[in-house]
Chains A and B, each alone.
With several copies, the nearest count.
Chain A
Amino acid sequence: MSDGTYLDAISAALLHEMDRDDRVLVMGEDVAGPFGGAFKVTKPVAERFGESRVRNMPMTELGFIGAANGMALMGLRPVIEVQFADFISTGFDSIVQFAATAHYRWGGAVPWVLRAPADGNLRSGPFHSQNPEAWFVHTPGLKVVAPSTLADAYGLLLSAIRDDNPVVYFESKPLYRALKGSVPGGDAPVPIGVAEIARPGSHCTVVTYGAMRHEATTAAAHLATEGIDVEVVDLRTLKPLDLETVTASVRKTSRVLVVHAANRLAGIGAEIAATVADVCFTDLDAPVKRLGGLDVPVPFSPPLEDAYRPSAATIADSCRELCAW
């Protein structure tokens, strides 16, 4: 373990898996050395493994994700980088129609990982700030993960690469360099499908993931000084969802807030809220509340993006309301 960032943890996971398994290769726009990707995630990877295993692709997401489907069917384990999660829509068919359905339909396993640098708060506007995870959770046949710590970024990428299914791996751009810690090493996979209690608490539960985990724990630390004890559940995997951890927490606190940066309307929070409101009906002392992005394209200008997005402050407000209910 060495000190580094969330981004370093992703690079480290790639290095570890590519050392371990020569079926793994990286492909995407501008990923090869010496450039090493728009965010430089693959720079150390390209340096170690060279062009045959870190491959530049033309700006043709539909075609090269389609090619990754073929590589994966033939036993390779491609790790695809789309330059921003926003460009995932350009390769949509190859993901939601081919990769997602092959195994269910005829038993063709498509073991790839699609790394998608997502989320905003970086003043990057409507096309470099998107959180499109709901599209993929709604689509049968994909797995979806969204790590929010160095350990999870590392461990979930190990698990995603080892998984025999197509896994969409949402990276949190606002955490890339802002989140620091010790970079994991070695064989430390984090299982897909298991949520984590990021902070135990007893008065209410915040269910969240990605950068919002940190907003939530910040809010919780603040609320603790007011005597409100918040439990923060970090989903980590968005598909399949770990509803057990969520409902266990709700049964303990009887109040729940679901938070994500993605559009609240018909987002994943709706699925979680609807499920919790159903299966925990008699446990709840207050309605399940949701915070999410507004139903507009992610706006660019700081005052607008701040108004668009949940934050520690709005999470704290919602928790206060919830606990006062």
Chain B
Amino acid sequence: MELDLLVAYRWMRLTRAVDDAIRNLWLTGQGVGGTFNQRGHEAISVGAALCLAGDDVVAPMHRDLGAYLVRGMSPRRLLAHQLGRATGVSRGRDANIHGCGDLSLGIIGFVSHLPQSLPVAVGAAMAFRHRGEPRVALTFTGDGGSITGLFTESLNLAALDRAPVVIVVENNQYAYSTPIAEHSANPDIAARSRAMGVDAVDIDGNDVIAVHRAVQAAVNRARDGGGPTVVVAETMRMLGHAIHDGFEYVPDALLERWHERDPLTLLENRLAAAETETDRIRAIDDEVGVVVDDAVAFARDSPWPDPGEVTARVWATGPGHE
């Protein structure tokens, strides 16, 4: 698939707007529990998710709001989820952006334990291969997640099976407060991936075109039986890890450098260079604003879950369950 830049812009703008709306709710005391920040990661989650076909699946992590949106999860459900409402994705059961799974949209809900999404995506891909289906699984992890044993175990399984899975590493150079040089003796994640037998490429994670190009190539290769790929996307989280994080640990100079490379600004510049009319961009901004305002209102006005529901739906239905 060719990347339609305006489509990409719309999803990235929506991602940013939803993220801003969430932060705004929290900063004004309307939040419930904690919430993660997404700013800076929009090109990765959107660019990658746009490469999938309808019956592919994605197993995101905590900076992939854009992937949920692109896959069709509505801002209403996502915001209601974050506010713990009955109308949210998890009906008030899971917090923050955890547990936003919906298999009808091809989204596997994630657990906080990082990087548990990886082996699950690999297993999904193994299932596709087992049944001979031309489907692909996409998943994400951070630089911190890339130094876990589960990362190498997952890559090895994927490579052994030539599983149709694409693993995007969002290298924002920090795991929470810990810089990559302090958590990874070898910060070259692509090299570590190749050593496990998985092809890997390094790309600019703030350039949605680069993200899309690399992930689309990987998705196509996976679908054609070429096996797994790791795409290492360099970026920077531009706000704290989560709403409560003072964020004093990233040097200002570094942030400034990345501020100039804001993924939305970069894309706007591209659009301008491609002589897209400013009006079309602003129309998207306006539409997104309306969507997000509506979603915030919907979430805020949504009912809390019924406490009597707390023990319902522990077990999956099937013989002997209701």
Contacts and interface: CB of A to CB of B under 8 A. Distances in A.
Interface of A: 25, 29-30, 34-35, 38, 52, 56-60, 62-76, 84, 86-87, 89-90, 93-94, 97-98, 101-111, 122-128, 140-141, 143, 162-165, 191-193, 294-297, 299-304, 306-308
Most buried by A among B89, B126, B248, B308: B126
Interface stretch (B3-11, B41-49, B110-118, B212-220): B110-118
A87 to B, nearest CB: 7
A106 B94 contact: yes
Nearest to A53: B130
Interface in B274-322: 304-311, 313-321
A127 B147 contact: no
28 contacts: A29-B176, A63-B150, A67-B122, A70-B125, A71-B127, A73-B124, A74-B57, A74-B127, A87-B112, A98-B111, A103-B313, A105-B109, A106-B93, A107-B102, A108-B108, A123-B95, A126-B98, A127-B113, A162-B319, A164-B316, A164-B317, A164-B318, A294-B310, A300-B33, A300-B93, A300-B94, A301-B92, A304-B93
A111 B321 CA distance: 13
B121 interface: yes
Contact of B101 (A52, A102, A123, A307): A102
Contacts of B182: 56
A304 B98 contact: no
B316 A125 contact: no
Given A60-B153, A300-B33, A307 B310 contact: yes
Given A60-B149, A299-B92, A163 B126 contact: no
Contact of B100 (A35, A38, A62, A106): A106
A123 B95 CA distance: 8
Contacts of B122: 63, 66-67, 70
Contact of A73 (B96, B120, B178): B120
A122 B145 CA distance: 26
Interface stretch (B154-162, B199-207, B257-265): B154-162
Interface of B: 32-34, 57, 59, 84-85, 89-90, 92-96, 98-103, 108-109, 111-114, 116, 118-128, 130-131, 137, 144-145, 147-150, 153-154, 156-157, 160, 175-178, 182-184, 248-249, 304-311, 313-321
Contact of A56 (B178, B307, B309): B178
A296 B34 CA distance: 21
Contacts of B114: 59
Contact of B32 (A84, A105, A123): A123
Nearest to A36: B177
A165 B123 CA distance: 17
A80 to B, nearest CB: 11
Contacts of B101: 102, 105-108
Contact of B95 (A29, A68, A104, A126): A126
A301 B84 contact: yes
A67 B315 CA distance: 21
B245 to A, nearest CB: 9
B314 A103 contact: yes
Nearest to B154: A63
A45 B291 CA distance: 47
Nearest to B94: A105
A294 B313 CA distance: 13
Contacts of B304: 301-303
A306 B319 CA distance: 31
Contacts of A63: 119, 122, 149-150, 153-154, 156-157
Contacts of B319: 162-163
B144 A59 contact: yes
B124 to A, nearest CB: 4
Most buried by A among B34, B96, B311: B311
Given A105-B101, A162-B319, A300 B311 contact: no
A93 B227 CA distance: 26
Given A63-B156, A67-B120, A70-B59, A104 B93 contact: yes
Contact of B176 (A30, A64, A299): A30
B126 A70 contact: yes
Contacts of B249: 34-35
Nearest to B179: A56
B89 A106 contact: yes
A165 B315 contact: yes
B120 A69 contact: yes
Given A25-B130, A59-B175, A63-B154, A70 B123 contact: yes
Given A106-B100, A106-B102, A123-B33, A59 B316 contact: no
Contact of A70 (B108, B111, B178): B108
Contacts of B157: 57-58, 60, 63-64, 67
Contacts of B95: 123-128, 300
Contacts of A302: 32, 84, 304
B98 A125 contact: yes
B124 A106 contact: no
Contacts of B113: 86-87, 89-90, 93, 97-98, 127
